[in-house]
Amino acid sequence: MQEDRRLAVLRAIVEDYVSTEEPVGSKALVERHGLNVSPATVRNDMAAREEEGYLTQPHTSAGRIPTDKGYRLFVDRLSTVKPLSVAEKRAISTFLDGAVDLDDVVQRSVRLLSQLTRQVAVVQYPTLSRSTVRHIELVALAPERVLVVLILSTGRVEQRVVDLSTPLSDEELARLRSRLNLAATGEIIADAVSSLRALGEDPSAGSAATVAKVLVEAMSDHRSDHRVAVGGTANLARFGDNFDTAVRPLLEALEEHVVLMRLLGEATASGTVTVRIGAEGPYEELASTSVVTTGYGPQDEALATLGIVGPTRMDYPGSMAAVRAVARYVSRILDEA
């Protein structure tokens, strides 16, 4: 019973501190949260939590604020991630359903996440090397010129115009399309490249060899593997009181995509939200920063990561819910692409 009450006290302090940005006192806790105990009992609980390292007192006579260890316990003891409201879900669906291509999906996602959480949002582009070939389409532009369209499971679309040495009839174009799709559709990029490269090196393959070489080139372009989109940097202005310890290092980190990739970490299964608090992250200079992330991709396959980054004083339940919801919607869009 005592442990449950002390956990309730910690939870209340975290919620109040995130909301008010002020150290929290025992009297305010009893009044706001209906703990059904006296302020003296709450003071004893707060002192015990401070001794255990979950709370700290900024200065004498002030209330308490959570430590990183306190935030960690708070997050770990969340029984469920609070669901978004119907209005928030509708807003996500409406905003993301209007996307026209992968770039638009990523840019919309990063704007949406930053607005929902009031933190800095970071979205990694789907990793090319982990995707599969969904379809190859050929469109005749002229008897000796075709538009090659490569569609990947990530929603990425590559287009190349290819000039052929001999003209193709509609029937020959259809046979070529079938041959290329048979070699690559459903295969991961590495296997598709191997199949198409063998076709491209076959001197008897004719136009198929020419188009196969172009497809191999398109699949070997890894520009997107380390691309990230960032949004909501202006939200850091809310933490001006913490500029030197939290905001300045984070602003510098936002300029380095390699740093952001390490902050995001490896893509976890869609629906699994990872929270790294303070010193749990990979960079000592970002010890006042927390990161909330999850993976996204079609058919629950985590091809990339999205999440939010901000000072440790954040609304963890709300941020976790928003990150998970946006990832689910983006995954659904990629599934339907």
Catalogue the E-assigned strands of the chain: 55-56, 65-66, 120-124, 133-142, 145-152, 157-163, 228-231, 274-277, 289-296, 304-311
Say which CATH topology domain 2-76 has.
Arc Repressor Mutant, subunit A (1.10.10)
Angstrom distance (rounded) from CA 126 to CA 148: 21
Q: Residue count of the chain, please give it.
A: 337
Dihedral sign, Cα of residue 230, residue 221, residue 273, residue 98: positive
- Rounded to the nearest 10°, the torsion over CA 320, 269, 231, 133 is -160
> Do 156 and 129 touch, CB atoms closer than 8 A?
no
The second-level CATH assignment, the architecture, of 86-125+227-336 is 2-Layer Sandwich (3.30)
The gap from C-alpha 240 to its chain's centroid, in whole angstroms, comes to 25
Topology match between the domains 2-76 and 129-223? no
Please choose, from the candidates 271, 321, 318, 319, the residue with its C-alpha nearest in 3D space to the C-alpha of residue 296.
Answer: 271
Q: How many CB atoms lie within 10 A of CB 148?
A: 21
**CA triplet 266, 289, 67: central angle to 5 degrees?**
115
Angstrom distance (rounded) from CA 5 to CA 80: 19
Q: Per residue of the chain (337 residues), what is the pLDDT tens digit? A: 788 888 989 999 999 999 888 899 988 888 888 888 888 999 999 999 999 999 999 887 778 999 999 999 999 988 666 778 888 888 898 888 888 788 899 999 999 999 999 999 999 988 777 778 999 999 999 989 999 999 888 777 889 999 998 898 999 999 999 999 999 999 988 899 999 988 888 877 788 889 999 999 888 765 555 688 999 998 888 776 677 777 888 888 888 877 888 888 876 766 789 999 999 988 888 888 999 999 988 776 777 899 999 989 999 999 999 999 999 999 888 777 6
Question: Measured between alpha carbons, how far apart are the two ends of the chain, in Å?
Answer: 52
Enumerate the domain spans of the chain.
2-76, 86-125+227-336, 129-223
Q: Residue 332 is encoded by which pair of tokens?
A: 């659904």
DSSP type of residue 83: P
Instruction: Please provide the CATH number assigned to the domain covering 129-223.
Output: 3.30.390.60
Angstrom distance (rounded) from CA 330 to CA 267: 14
